[in-house]
Amino acid sequence: EAQVTQNPRYLITVTGKKLTVTCSQNMNHEYMSWYRQDPGLGLRQIYYSMNVEVTDKGDVPEGYKVSRKEKRNFPLILESPSPNQTSLYFCASSLGRQGVGGYTFGSGTRLTVV
């Protein structure tokens, strides 16, 4: 089954404690992206990657890092999480650039930073 797998689904952490949210896709897509979803603000792009070792900032990159060492994996790293990073996070991949033709989204990671 074609899918994007994110882990963990739920995470509660404390301010300043580094964390990583993993993302893996099995569709051989070159393009992957991270979004956060907040009430009233919709889906906002954090970072995206067009291929292995090629990443770039989205609309809200501050406080986040990403890496793309393998085509299938695109982890999101929060080096020093803060409460304003409490959100619902989605990883997505697409065949077309920047979601043209549609993204396949993961099931989401609900992060709470206290």
Q: Does 12 bind another protein (CB under 8 A)?
A: no
Quick one: 16 or 50, whose CB is closer to another protein? 50
Contacts of 62 (CB under 8 A, 6+ apart): none
For the bound state, the minimum distance from the C-beta of residue 80 to another protein, rounded and expressed in Å, comes to 26
Task: Find out whether 103 and 76 touch, Cβ atoms under 8 Å.
Answer: no
- The backbone torsions φ and ψ at residue 45, rounded to the nearest 5 degrees and listed phi first, read -80, 135
Which residues, including other chains, have CB under 8 Å from residue 39's CB and lie 6 or more apart?
A: none
Q: Which residues pair with 22 in a beta bridge?
A: 7
Q: Which of 45, 67, 73, 86 binds another protein (CB under 8 A)?
A: 45
Nearest distance from C-beta of residue 90 to another protein, angstroms? 5
In the numeric block, the tokens 């099931």 are attached to: 107
Q: How far is the CB of 109 from another protein (least distance, A)?
A: 10
| Under rule CB under 8 A, residue 101 binds another protein | yes
Please report whether residue 40 would count as binding another protein according to CB under 8 A.
Answer: yes
Residues that bind another protein (CB under 8 A): 4, 40-43, 45, 48, 58, 90, 92, 97-108
